Structure 1
Amino acid sequence: MLKALKKMFGKDDDARSSVRPSASVEFETPRSASPAGHTPPAASLPDSPAPAEQAPRAATSSRQDKPRSDRPRRERPAKPVDTWKLEDFAVEPAEGKTRFHDFDLSPELMHAIHDLGFPYCTPIQAQVLGYTLKGRDAIGRAQTGTGKTAAFLISTITQLLTTPPPKERYMGEPRALIIAPTRELVVQIAKDALGLTKYTKLNVMSFVGGMDFDKQLKQLESRFCDILVATPGRLLDFNQRGEVHLDMVEVMVLDEADRMLDMGFIPQVRQIIRQTPMKGERQTLLFSATFTPDVMNLAQQWTVDPAIVEIEPENVASDTVEQHVYAVAGSDKYKLLYNLIAQNNWVRVMVFANRKDEVRRIEERLTKDGISAAQMSGDVPQHKRIKVLEGFREGKIRVLVATDVAGRGIHVDAISHVINFTLPEDPDDYVHRIGRTGRAGSSGTSISFAGEDDAFALPPIEELIGRKIHCEMPPAELLKSVPRTR
């Protein structure tokens, strides 16, 4: 499959210009000062403008009507790094593993990686960074939990640190744009970006629907925006109101492209991309859990000679997650769910259902029956989502009931069990669901309820993960009637 994909992209790219200007060769450094490890391809060297030539581009007529803010233009102060040295981050070489030391990353970024406790790269980080730090576009197939977020953030941050910003800058002109389909995923990516930029002057902002528009606007007016993470709809709101301009974007990241297709966001994403520089003048990174024909068509439209990286889904969860299936009548599913949680005294459980109305009913019944639960679906306002996630992380909420869309961006440590109240129709969603547990090498358990209405979904799931899942009848004590509550 990999050879076919490379062939698919290879012929088209011969006709494209091999020269990519320095202002748009993301993760390549300015031609006059390329540090070791970031030497651009020889074909890209002739006729490339010097970094100083970026300034006239920043003052073109397309931005003459943009309002300059009279507010102080504050940059985030860099924390001192003189007390920390790279020698403090000692990682021994290990066979079959790639260290972050093996890449030419800045001391500020290495300090942040050290604080986060990541000595070795995950497979997708090792493969993606090998290409993107040299300025290439990339498309990656990887599930949640593989470390892909850190891969594109480290690459993006390196580009912004090694390439000076334009001398003429306006408020609301991000240098890097990351688009994700859900509010939870945007919040998580922005949180990770803040952690990785803590010792730099780079500013990270996030725009999502369901949050106060004016509050988000005030942060945009108060300081330069280096990395912007956003959902498509809210970003278009800012763009169409003239608050955000995307013609200075050096790096564009599209995360979970398959989910954006499923959710109908591609028309909005197309509008956004038309506001950015041409694909040969920006670096584009696209990540997806699946390489469907539609995803690959988008990749072909939006990237130039992309490196193709694939991480097999079975490496994500099947080795760390113990998987069970209970054959149970639909009418007994709730009793089974209640008794599993109550009898085992589980304290951090995620329950997945296919529809929002199912999610609501499950959450309401658990709450009524004395188990602290909350729901996560597209109908829940953003401020409540944040509060729910914090309560779940802190253990105040024992059970989080979610749809696939809402659960895609949830990253909470120590989730002991994932329960599929209904099996998903898309096998890839099953892998995403059980990936909520067994994260970072820890063990976890998934339990799926196969009823008369959804048992047909099991064979495609088994085919995807490459093994059979033992199906059993639940013991009688797990089908006891739920105690009545007043």
Structure 2
Amino acid sequence: MTVLKALKKMFGKSEAEQLAPGTSAPVHGPSRTEAPQQPRRAAPVASDKKASAPAAATEPDVSPAPERPPEAAKPRRERAPKPPVVAWKLDDFAVEPQEGKTRFHDFKLAPELMHAIHDLGFPYCTPIQAQVLGFTLAGKDAIGRAQTGTGKTAAFLISIITQLLQTPPPKERYMGEPRALIIAPTRELVVQIAKDAADLTKYTGLNVMTFVGGMDFDKQLKHLEARHCDILVATPGRLLDFNQRGDVHLDMVEVMVLDEADRMLDMGFIPQVRQIIRQTPPKSERQTLLFSATFTEDVMNLAKQWTTDPSIVEIEALNVASENVEQHIYAVAGADKYKLLYNLVNDNGWERVMVFANRKDEVRRIEERLVRDGVNAAQLSGDVPQHKRIKTLEGFREGKIRVLVATDVAGRGIHIDGISHVINFTLPEVPDDYVHRIGRTGRAGAAGVSISFAGEDDSYQLPSIEALLGKKINCETPPTHLLRPVERKHS
């Protein structure tokens, strides 16, 4: 016995002493590390029909996936997540009831989720959140119509997180079996949704993953094999790549969200989405949420096919564009547009400006001229590699980039606070895109300004934009000093 005690003293504490004080079991079921090892599921027979690549300006996300060598190795099992220990209680999030407003306290949300909402500084629900959560937290399907910037992303994320926290995961899970699936049409929107999801799940131990084209396939696969996937956010093409290879299985999806359904229709993704939905449980066994900026006949037909007795939430669009955005239109010749842009930005010292143009070559040309003339600018279009697009957005968000020049690939799904001005170098061909563009400013109650250049080639778009807005926009002649030639910088 003396020898045994000496050995224990030499090599560590007793087994009981090794348990950390205050350690508790995970919220949902047994530790994931205790689950028995399982062999990888056999891959389903890949469909002969390959998803066609969408236009580069939107989402080249169906790049050929590398062939996977056969392997007999068992998938790695993840360790039980350890949510950060923070001394926080619901009393720290005091919000007074206010007539006409709904608090997040008015719903039965988990303390971990309320903590994250508190960190984000959201005391009251937006109208879409208040209405949607009233249905979805009760387990009902829902379809919602709301413009960008209304808070619909947080609405469906809060509903998903609540569902996953209230329902314990199965005791036996494969790595590639997400419990919640969010499908969005563009890479930028997927990245933004995943970022919002990470912010809202940071105290819950839930894992969020993204699948998008244009990024390293093997890197995304390693993430998938390293831990269980609770919430998967993906573009249709790349998700099909993983699904058809047998790396992702959708038969355990509890909640499915289709975001920007109208845009997925416009971009031709519905056949791919149909393939994906066929892999999920029947609509009677999953909760389905569908969101769209417009309720066209096609969108409503899709909703009827994919949902069960859905609650319809429609936010009145009496004011299509935010009242926080002051709108101007300058009548200017095409040859003078760049001079006007440069002088507006330079003379006023604007620090965070988005400039929209209709074509990728136009975006590239504007960005190159601004950089040549000493303005810290960057471009965002479908031609820019995904890793560079993410780096550009982060630089713009952090204030390292002064002017971001973009196509409509950035018109939706990019939420960056502090954008003071949006400039339409060319008026969009689709009136809805005008609303999405100017919605990049005037967010979260802040004031913003949009300035549109109407030239001989695009001024004919004005009547349809004004019809959508339900009001006329005063067309002005820019002051003469804003049309002066740009002084060339000496090299």
Query: Which residue of structure 2 lines up, in the alignment, with residue 78 of structure 1?
Result: 83
Query: Which residue of structure 1 lines up, in the alignment, with residue 268 of structure 2?
Result: 264
- The question of 1:216 aligning with 2:220 is answered yes
What TM-score comes out, normalization by structure 2 length? 0.84
- The question of 1:482 aligning with 2:482 is answered no
Query: Which residue of structure 1 lines up, in the alignment, with residue 412 of structure 2?
Result: 408
Change (3 A) 1:248 1:366: same
- The question of 1:281 aligning with 2:300 is answered no
The one-letter code sitting in structure 2 at the alignment partner of 1:374 is: A
Contact 2:176–2:229 under 8 Å retained in 1: yes
Unaligned runs of 5+ in 2: 1-28, 30-39, 45-71
Instruction: Identify the structure with the greater helix proportion.
Output: 1
* Deviations 1:64-87 (CA, angstroms, capped at 9, x unpaired): 668884423224322235x32211
Aligned match for 1:385, one of 386, 389, 394: 389
CA distance in 2, matches of 1:70, 1:139: 37
Contact 1:313–1:465 under 8 Å retained in 2: no
CA distance in 1, matches of 2:42, 2:355: 52
Residue 251 of structure 1: how far off its partner (Å): 0.6
Query: Which residue of structure 2 lines up, in the alignment, with residue 135 of structure 1?
Result: 139
CA distance in 1, matches of 2:420, 2:43: 54
Change (3 A) 1:75 1:86: same
Change (3 A) 1:420 1:484: same
CA distance in 2, matches of 1:108, 1:378: 38
Contact 1:75–1:203 under 8 Å retained in 2: no
Unaligned runs of 5+ in 1: 1-50, 52-61
Residue 484 of structure 1: how far off its partner (Å): 2.1
Contact 1:75–1:223 under 8 Å retained in 2: no
What TM-score comes out, normalization by structure 1 length? 0.85
- The question of 1:306 aligning with 2:303 is answered no
Query: Which residue of structure 1 lines up, in the alignment, with residue 60 of structure 2?
Result: none
- Is the deviation greater in 305-314 or in 161-170? 305-314
Query: Which residue of structure 2 lines up, in the alignment, with residue 121 of structure 1?
Result: 125
Query: Which residue of structure 2 lines up, in the alignment, with residue 158 of structure 1?
Result: 162
CA distance in 1, matches of 2:265, 2:281: 23
Change (3 A) 1:74 1:313: farther
Residue 262 of structure 1: how far off its partner (Å): 1.7
Query: Which residue of structure 1 lines up, in the alignment, with residue 94 of structure 2?
Result: 90
CA distance in 1, matches of 2:198, 2:74: 24
Change (3 A) 1:117 1:485: same
Query: Which residue of structure 1 lines up, in the alignment, with residue 457 of structure 2?
Result: 453
- The question of 1:435 aligning with 2:439 is answered yes
Residue 316 of structure 1: how far off its partner (Å): 6.4
Report SS of the residue matched to 1:346. Answer: coil
Residue 467 of structure 1: how far off its partner (Å): 1.7
The one-letter code sitting in structure 1 at the alignment partner of 2:368 is: E
Report SS of the residue matched to 1:439. Answer: coil
Report SS of the residue matched to 2:375. Answer: coil
CA distance in 2, matches of 1:484, 1:63: 63
Query: Which residue of structure 1 lines up, in the alignment, with residue 48 of structure 2?
Result: none
CA distance in 2, matches of 1:87, 1:279: 39
Query: Which residue of structure 2 lines up, in the alignment, with residue 462 of structure 1?
Result: 466
Report SS of the residue matched to 2:395. Answer: helix
Report SS of the residue matched to 2:358. Answer: coil
The one-letter code sitting in structure 2 at the alignment partner of 1:248 is: M
- The question of 1:293 aligning with 2:297 is answered yes
Greater than 6 Å deviation, 4+ residue runs? 64-68
The one-letter code sitting in structure 2 at the alignment partner of 1:336 is: L
CA distance in 1, matches of 2:187, 2:318: 27
Query: Which residue of structure 1 lines up, in the alignment, with residue 349 of structure 2?
Result: 345
- The question of 1:232 aligning with 2:236 is answered yes
Query: Which residue of structure 1 lines up, in the alignment, with residue 62 of structure 2?
Result: none
CA distance in 2, matches of 1:394, 1:202: 27
Contact 1:352–1:421 under 8 Å retained in 2: yes
CA distance in 1, matches of 2:94, 2:269: 44
Report SS of the residue matched to 1:108. Answer: helix
CA distance in 2, matches of 1:70, 1:318: 49
Residue 444 of structure 1: how far off its partner (Å): 0.3
Aligned match for 2:205, one of 201, 225, 228: 201
- Is the deviation greater in 199-208 or in 95-104? 199-208
- The question of 1:176 aligning with 2:180 is answered yes
Contact 1:327–1:449 under 8 Å retained in 2: yes
Residue 356 of structure 1: how far off its partner (Å): 1.2
CA distance in 2, matches of 1:137, 1:187: 25
Residue 310 of structure 1: how far off its partner (Å): 1.3
Aligned match for 2:364, one of 360, 376, 379: 360
CA RMSD after TM alignment: 2.1
The one-letter code sitting in structure 2 at the alignment partner of 1:137 is: D
| Count of matched residue positions in the alignment of Structure 1 and Structure 2 | 428
Contact 2:156–2:257 under 8 Å retained in 1: yes
* Deviations 1:288-325 (CA, angstroms, capped at 9, x unpaired): 11111221121111111111111234556431000000
The one-letter code sitting in structure 1 at the alignment partner of 2:414 is: I
Contact 2:426–2:458 under 8 Å retained in 1: yes
Residue 274 of structure 1: how far off its partner (Å): 1.2
Change (3 A) 1:177 1:69: farther
- The question of 1:148 aligning with 2:152 is answered yes
Contact 2:95–2:123 under 8 Å retained in 1: yes
The one-letter code sitting in structure 2 at the alignment partner of 1:73 is: E
Residue 485 of structure 1: how far off its partner (Å): 3.1
* Deviations 1:32-70 (CA, angstroms, capped at 9, x unpaired): xxxxxxxxxxxxxxxxxxx9xxxxxxxxxx956688844
Query: Which residue of structure 2 lines up, in the alignment, with residue 40 of structure 1?
Result: none
The one-letter code sitting in structure 2 at the alignment partner of 1:296 is: M
Greater gyration radius: 2
Contact 1:68–1:170 under 8 Å retained in 2: no
CA distance in 2, matches of 1:70, 1:206: 19
Contact 2:356–2:407 under 8 Å retained in 1: yes
